[in-house]
Amino acid sequence: MPADLGCSASTGRLAAEVAFAFACWTGAYKFLAVFGATRHFSREWRCRMVTVAHACLVTALAGWDLASFGRNAVYWEMQGQPYNYLERLLFTVCLGYFLFDLAWCLLHRTEGPLMLLHHCASVFGLAMSLFGCRWAPELTITIGGSECTNPLLQLRWFLRNSGGGNSPLRSQLLLVVELTFLVSFCLMRLCVGGCLTVSYLANPATDFLGRLGAVTMFGIGLGFLGQVFGQAARRIRRAKSGENLQRLANLRRDEGEDDAAANLRLDDGDRILHSNNNGFQLRHSKI
């Protein structure tokens, strides 16, 4: 497939395709709100379900493009090339989704500055690539590499917010998901993202906007990585504090305090820990 075949569409047609993609993602969200068991879920549950669908779809499209046409953006000769039909479809689907998600985040005010910056940068970069017919291989590998870890992030959130108590099986599953997400996130953001950024900056043929986009997205990825490790550190401190509370309750019992009073003290301490640690979550991160 020639690389520039996808660039034959007019600006009006591209805008119509993006609007259609936006309408499809919005329609999927509304469908979940009206039909089936998902209508009883919270709006964040439904939005995250749309996020999982988007992540799986664009990861498959990016992988298909890389496997079929070998457009590896780490190589200089591939960087800055126009897109083909498959990449045009990928960018259109992705841009429509990020417009939907940015509107959702602004409407419900769920996100902080870093996530809003990520969404705005994504919309700008995708629009510049789609309407300017450039940066196709590097944007494809960026989308695939960043979105392939997103289903794990959403599964992690679903497990944390599904209720059902803290059974050993659920806790072990959550631990496996969190560790897998952490390793894959570091691998894609640091290793793959770092190699692509260094290669892109070293290439004298790349333009200023492309370099700015590469540095911006890599910096945002590092910011997300800092949030992930910060939350992990807080969870470790919380676990240690819970162990200390249990030891204190056991000591009180040894000193003669009755079980009911010791358990009440332990429950009060646990509630304080939850209130102090649950304020932060990587809430709606679609990275």
Where are the domains positioned within the chain? 5-277
In whole angstroms, give the CA distance from residue 77 to residue 189.
23
In whole angstroms, give the CA distance from residue 234 to residue 240.
10
In whole angstroms, give the CA distance from residue 88 to residue 79.
16
The answer to whether the CB of 28 falls within 8 A of the CB of 50 is yes
In whole angstroms, give the CA distance from residue 221 to residue 190.
8
The dihedral sign for the CA sequence 189, 194, 195, 197: positive
Q: What tens-digit pLDDT sequence spans the chain (287 residues)?
A: 445 567 888 999 999 999 999 999 999 999 999 987 778 889 999 999 999 999 999 999 999 999 988 887 777 788 999 999 999 999 999 999 999 999 999 999 989 999 999 999 999 999 999 999 999 999 999 999 999 999 999 999 999 888 766 678 888 898 899 899 999 999 999 999 999 999 999 999 999 999 999 999 999 999 999 998 888 788 777 766 755 555 655 555 555 555 554 454 445 544 444 444 443 344 444 44
pLDDT at 234: 81
pLDDT at 249: 53
Q: What is the pTM of this model?
A: 0.83
Supply φ then ψ for residue 111, to 5 degrees: -115, 155
The answer to whether the CB of 24 falls within 8 A of the CB of 95 is no
The answer to whether the CB of 224 falls within 8 A of the CB of 287 is yes
